[in-house]
Structure 1
Amino acid sequence: MRKFLSIILLLTLILTIVAGCAQDKAPNAATEDTSDKKSSKDLVVRIGVQGSGGLFGKAREDQLFEKAFEQYGAKVEWVEFQSGPPMTEAIAADKLDFAGLGNMPVITAQAANIPFTIISQALAGNKNVGIVVDAGSKIQSLEDLKGKKVAVGKGTNAYDFLLRALAKENIKVEDIELINLNPDEGQAAFDSKGVDAWAVWEPYLTINTLSQKGRIIADGELLGLLSPSYNIVRTKFAEEHEDLVVTYLKTLNSLLEWELANEKEAVERYATERNLPVALMEATRQRALPINIPVTEAIIQEHQKTADFQYEIGTIRQKIDVQKVFDNQYIEKALQ
């Protein structure tokens, strides 16, 4: 009997030790389940911007993102672009992590299976894109563009706006002569009257209208067409560094708060950067006020309509479900 009891006690002791070992290992097992999260130490975060000044110019000067990421041991590299399409190409090549860009480059990128995620809305999209003509031009409407040279950057939100605007007025793309130009080239062509019209975004619309060089014949508000802009992140980066994505959006929010609280200083700063009158920069902000908010279902539905239109006319080669690239979790955490 004593021998039997000894065996029972021995087995109990062994089971206790095994259970204790299992408990010791449990936290490690949980850690392994989230092993796709990587350390940010010595990571270089590539942030894409269009141009060197503006809101991000302030951020670069004050090293706001550098200071925000420093707590994670991460560094920042700034990469400049003239428009959105090269940004998505850089994301596809794993050479860019964050970008702010218009709706059309986003649609084209998804159709090309580029792995990115939309993390917030950056512009409302009702007046930030339009078509401008020379102040002395006889062109008064979209109908008058038939047979005329129209400058636009292919693949940009202005390109999407132009195509949708023409379709709404039952005008064929073949009825106009499209000239593919980036903003710098477009401005030069517009100044020299090398083109009859220019589809472009802010601040170029306001620069050319308030300087009395041109006038707007169509924009989103006039035609009821939205061209929202978004903040996006390389999907794998977001999966591995969720904390940095939230920090990026929080830092952007702090920038926008500074801009609103110091609007006079901000506008004067932006005007100086572009060597433009302050009044002109104030007007630009009225047409394209930057935001950083969750993307609503209504905007997503509008984005889907735009994607469907681009598929129908053959601009993109596959039909896409845009819902798959929107994720508000990061901006919602940043706003808490």
Structure 2
Amino acid sequence: MSTTMFRRTLLTGVIGITATLAACGEKPASKPAAKLPETVTIAAISYTYQGKPTFNGLSQVVINQGWLEGELKKKGVALNWLPVPTSVGGPLINEGFAAKRIDFAGYGDFPALIAKSGGVDIRAITSSGQGNNAYLIVRKGLEAKSIEDLKGKSLAIHRGRPWELTLAKLLDSKGLKLTDFKIYNLNPQAAYSALAAGKVDAVFTLSEAILQEDKGAGTIIWSTKSNPEWKMRTGLFARTEFTTQNPELTQTVVNAYIKAAHWASQPENRAAFLELASRGNNPTSVLERDYANEGGDWKDHFSPIIDQGFVSHFDDVSKYTFENKLVQKEVASRDFIDPTFVNKGIDELGLTGFWKETPVTGPVQ
């Protein structure tokens, strides 16, 4: 289903509801304007840079542009940014959503879906691009050229993190399972230390693998550059209660992220974006290699579109987390994804057709 079909489906539903009301001779009851909240709080993964928090990806671009803060100020609403360290990212954001301490958050597919399955009513309202690469790196001196060569050996991965599904798809494509390996559930930093010390044979992780290779700790033997449809996905998520009660504020927030994505998409802003991104864990040289040799246009790395590729990915995440007992309830994408705001924002900002859609993924068999 294309983005255009998404819009048609949504429009058809609205027309149907309107026609039903008209046939019954009823008019929606007028309600007094709801009081706007004093503050909009957005949580995002952050790092410490020169003694101050700097935020991951497009959130820092939104801050630097200042447009969102200015628009909210016109409405008498303050903007609050909540920095979230990577070490506690998903769980802390989920706690914030559950306690209604935050209204929006930029983070990954697994923790967001775990929250939704656990009864926290949130929805994905924009994509944060076409995904993040995952890498398989083997320890120094190990003669392994493929995942098949690692069968029976030790493999470190942080279980329950978004790149676990990517590993599952790689294994599935080769007729392998997690049980074919000695799995060590380690957070990335612990995994890198174990790799450098030769205590594990391989680590499945994100772009930090490039930095570990540069340090001489190991050799990358596979990445999602060969299978881009397997990348992990991130997005902007929101409390459903907030979006229902404050649709105009929600649209303002979404438009700010679309504007940030459009800025980052410009080739002339590539160096500036990479400099911002390098304030996190990886230097610019690593980021350049992470983005290199992927094909397609630079701008498509930042597509906010909620397309069928995005939806099918979250269907895969829901199925995988449920079947592997990471959640107790399987979540339907229609209850978890709302393209309304991003579709409207793209139209309002004159960016229809600027970004291309992502390919549909396939579930782990």
Q: TM-score range by the shorter chain?
A: 0.7 to 0.9
Residue identity opposite 2:271 in structure 1: K
Q: Structure 2: how far apart are the matches of 1:242 and 1:193?
A: 53
Letter aligned with residue 216 of structure 1: I
Instruction: Indicate the RMSD between aligned Cα atoms, in angstroms.
Output: 3.1
- Identify the residue that residue 31 of structure 2 maps to in structure 1: 31
> Is the 2:211–2:282 contact (alpha carbons within 8 Å) kept by the matching residues of 1?
no
Distance 1:196 1:213 in 2: 11
Shift of the 196–121 alpha-carbon distance from structure 1 to 2, 3 Å rule, reads same
Q: Provide the residue aligned with 2:238 in structure 1.
A: 233
Give the aligned partner of residue 95 of structure 1.
Answer: 101
Q: Which residue of 2 aligns with 1:143?
A: 148
Please tell me whether the aligned partners of residues 45 and 55 of structure 2 are also in contact (alpha carbons under 8 angstroms). Answer: no
Q: Output the CA distance in 1 between the equivalents of 2:120 and 2:103.
A: 12
> Counterpart of 1:84?
90
1:230 counterpart letter in structure 2? G
CA shift in 2, pair 1:290/1:140, >3 Å? same
Structure 1 segments (4+ residues) deviating >6 Å: none
Distance 1:244 1:187, change over 3 A: farther
Q: 1:123 aligns to what SS in structure 2?
A: coil
Q: Which residue number in structure 1 is paired with residue 130 of structure 2?
A: 124
Measured in 2, the distance between the counterparts of 1:38 and 1:285 equals 44
Q: Secondary structure at the match of 1:113?
A: coil
Q: Which deviates further from its counterpart, 189-198 or 154-163?
A: 189-198
2:274 to 264, 267, 270: 267
The answer (yes or no) to whether the contact 1:48–1:97 under 8 Å persists in 2 is: no
Q: Indicate which of 155, 162, 175 corresponds to 1:157.
A: 162
Q: Compute the displacement of 1:66 (Å).
A: 2.9
Cα distance in 2, alignment partners of residues 275 and 301 from structure 1: 30
1:111 equivalent among 102, 117, 129: 117
Q: 1:208-261 deviations in whole A, cap 9, x for unaligned?
A: 345554433333343563432222112112112222222222222222333334
Deviation at 1:146, TM superposition (A): 3.0
C-alpha distance in 1 between matches for 2:72 and 2:194:
41
CA distance in 1, matches of 2:180, 2:122: 35
State the alpha-carbon separation in 1 of the partners of residues 328 and 140 from structure 2. Answer: 38
Pairwise CA distance, 1:330: 0.8
Q: Structure 2 length normalisation: TM-score?
A: 0.71
Note closer, same or farther for the CA distance 1:230–1:173 as it changes in structure 2 (3 Å cut). Answer: same
Q: 1:244 to 1:198 in 2, by over 3 A?
A: farther
User: Quick one: structure 1 residues 324 and 193, their matched pair in 2 at CA, closer, same or farther if it must change by over 3 Å?
Assistant: same
- The residue aligned with 2:224 is 220
Cα distance, 1:68 vs. partner? 3.6
Q: Which has the higher helix share?
A: 1
Letter in 2 for 1:267: L
Aligned to 1:71: 74
- Secondary structure of the residue aligned to 2:100 is coil
Whole-Å separation in 2 of the counterparts to 1:329 and 1:30: 23
Change (3 A) 1:58 1:152: same
Q: Call closer, same or farther: CA 1:323–1:254 in 2, change over 3 Å.
A: same
Cα distance per residue 1:155-197 (max 9 Å; x no partner): 2111222233223323232332333333333343334444322
Distance in 2, Cα, partners of 1:270 & 1:297: 28
Q: Which has the larger radius of gyration?
A: 1
C-alpha distance in 1 between matches for 2:108 and 2:94: 11
Aligned length: 303
What does residue 321 of structure 1 align with?
Answer: 332
State the distance in 2 between where 1:319 and 1:265 align.
40
How many Å separate the matches in 1 of 2:40 and 2:279? 31
Distance 1:309 1:104 in 2: 10
Aligned-pair distance for 1:117?
0.6
Letter in 1 for 2:219: R
Residues 1:45 and 2:41 are matched in the alignment: yes
SS of the residue corresponding to residue 128 of structure 2 reads: strand
Q: Distance in 2 between matches of 1:62 and 1:161?
A: 34
- Which amino acid counterpart does residue 36 of structure 2 have in structure 1? S
